[in-house]
Structure 1
Amino acid sequence: MHAPLIEPTVVDIPVRQPAVPMYAWVVFALTVGLLFSDYMSRQVLNAVFPLLKSAWGMSDTQLGSLSSVVALMVGLLTFPLSVLADRWGRIRSIVLMATLWSLATLGCAISTRYGEMLFARALVGLGEAAYGSVGIAVVLSIFPARLRSTLSGIFAAGSAFGSVLGLALGGVFSAHFGWRWSFAAMGCFGIVLVITYSIVVTGKRLTPLLPPGLRDVSGKPGVRISFRTLMAGLFSSTSVRCAYVGSGLQLLVPAALWAWMPSFLNRYYALAPGKAALCAAGFVLITGLGMSVCGMVTDRVSASNPTRKWASAIVYCLASFMLLVVAFRLPNGPLQLMLIGAGMFFGAGSCGPSSAMVANLTPPQIHGSAFATLTLANNLLGLAPAAIITGAIADRIGLFGALNVILVAPLIAAIVFVFGWRNYTKDLSRLTALREQAVR
Structure 2
Amino acid sequence: MATYHIDEGAAGEVAVPRRYAWIVFALTFGLLISDYMSRQVLNAVFPMLKGEWVLSDTQLGLLSGIVALMVGLLTFPLSLLADRFGRVKSLALMAALWSLATLGCALAQNYEQMFIARFLVGVGEAAYGSVGIAVVVSVFPREMRATLSGAFISGGLFGSVLGMASGGLLAHWLGWRWAFAGMALFGLLLAALYPLVVKESRISTPCRGAKGSAGGRNPLRSLYSSRSVISAYVGSGLQLFVGGTVIVWMPSYLNRYYGMETDKAGAAAAIIVLCSGAGMILCGMLSDRLCKARPDRKISLAIGYCIGSCALLSLAFALPFGLPQLVLICLGMFIATGTSGPAGAMVANLTHASVHGTAFATLTLANNLLGLAPGPFITGKVSDHIGLDNAFRLVPLISIAAAMVFLYARRHYHKDVARLEGESSPSIAPDPAINEGHTEVRA
Q: Distance in 2 between matches of 1:334 and 1:151?
A: 36
Residue in 2 aligned with 1:162?
A: 159
Residue in 1 aligned with 2:67?
A: 70
Q: Which moved more, 1:360-369 or 1:156-165?
A: 360-369
Residue in 1 aligned with 2:366?
A: 377
Q: Distance in 2 between matches of 1:26 and 1:437?
A: 33
Deviations 1:386-406 (A, max 9, x none): 111110000000001111111
SS at match of 1:349: coil
User: Percent same amino acid at aligned positions?
Assistant: 56
Q: In the alignment, which of 259, 269, 282 is matched to residue 280 of structure 1? A: 269
* Contact 1:156–1:351 under 8 Å retained in 2: no
The alpha-carbon deviation at position 231 of structure 1 amounts to 4.0
Q: Distance in 2 between matches of 1:280 and 1:179?
A: 17
Does residue 1:365 correspond to 2:349, yes or no? Answer: no
Residue in 1 aligned with 2:310?
A: 321
The alpha-carbon deviation at position 121 of structure 1 amounts to 0.2
Deviations 1:235-294 (A, max 9, x none): 132221111111111111111111111111111111112211111111111111111222
Q: Residues 104 and 330 of structure 1: is their aligned pair in 2 closer, same or farther, counting only changes over 3 Å?
A: same
Q: In the alignment, which of 81, 92, 99 is matched to residue 96 of structure 2? A: 99
The alpha-carbon deviation at position 20 of structure 1 amounts to 11
The alpha-carbon deviation at position 30 of structure 1 amounts to 2.5
Q: Residues 24 and 353 of structure 1: is their aligned pair in 2 closer, same or farther, counting only changes over 3 Å?
A: farther
The alpha-carbon deviation at position 142 of structure 1 amounts to 4.5
Q: Distance in 1 between matches of 2:358 and 2:235?
A: 18
Residue in 2 aligned with 1:250?
A: 239
Residue in 1 aligned with 2:58?
A: 61
* Contact 1:153–1:294 under 8 Å retained in 2: no
Larger relative contact order (C-alpha < 8 A, sep ≥ 6)?
Answer: 1
Q: Which moved more, 1:171-180 or 1:352-361?
A: 352-361
Deviations 1:295-345 (A, max 9, x none): 222233334443233233222222211111111111111111000000111
Q: TM-score, normalising length from structure 2?
A: 0.86
Q: Residues 68 and 436 of structure 1: is their aligned pair in 2 closer, same or farther, counting only changes over 3 Å?
A: closer
Q: TM-score, normalising length from structure 1?
A: 0.87
Q: Which moved more, 1:298-307 or 1:311-320?
A: 298-307
Query: Given residue 121 of structure 1, which amino acid in structure 2 is its aligned partner?
Result: R
Q: In the alignment, which of 404, 412, 423 is matched to residue 393 of structure 2? A: 404
SS at match of 2:287: helix
Unaligned runs of at least 5 residues, structure 1: 1-17, 216-221
Does residue 1:264 correspond to 2:261, yes or no? Answer: no
Unaligned runs of at least 5 residues, structure 2: 1-14, 428-441
Query: Given residue 46 of structure 1, which amino acid in structure 2 is its aligned partner?
Result: N
Does residue 1:134 correspond to 2:131, yes or no? Answer: yes
Q: Residues 116 and 19 of structure 1: is their aligned pair in 2 closer, same or farther, counting only changes over 3 Å?
A: closer
Q: Residues 125 and 361 of structure 1: is their aligned pair in 2 closer, same or farther, counting only changes over 3 Å?
A: same
The alpha-carbon deviation at position 376 of structure 1 amounts to 0.5
Q: In the alignment, which of 297, 301, 312 is matched to residue 301 of structure 2? A: 312
Q: In the alignment, which of 99, 110, 118 is matched to residue 113 of structure 1? A: 110
Q: Distance in 1 between matches of 2:341 and 2:149?
A: 5
Q: Distance in 1 between matches of 2:136 and 2:345?
A: 13
* Contact 1:316–1:346 under 8 Å retained in 2: yes
Residue in 1 aligned with 2:336?
A: 347
* Contact 2:211–2:218 under 8 Å retained in 1: no
Query: Given residue 350 of structure 2, which amino acid in structure 1 is its aligned partner?
Result: L
Query: Given residue 334 of structure 2, which amino acid in structure 1 is its aligned partner?
Result: F
Q: In the alignment, which of 227, 230, 242 is matched to residue 241 of structure 1? A: 230
SS at match of 1:328: helix
Residue in 2 aligned with 1:394?
A: 383
Q: Distance in 1 between matches of 2:411 and 2:145?
A: 22
Query: Given residue 177 of structure 1, which amino acid in structure 2 is its aligned partner?
Result: L
Residue in 2 aligned with 1:202?
A: 199
Does residue 1:430 correspond to 2:427, yes or no? Answer: no
Residue in 2 aligned with 1:184?
A: 181
Deviations 1:168-191 (A, max 9, x none): 011110111110000000011111
The alpha-carbon deviation at position 47 of structure 1 amounts to 0.5
Tell me how many residue pairs correspond in the alignment. Answer: 412
SS at match of 2:260: coil
* Contact 2:94–2:128 under 8 Å retained in 1: yes
Residue in 2 aligned with 1:34?
A: 31
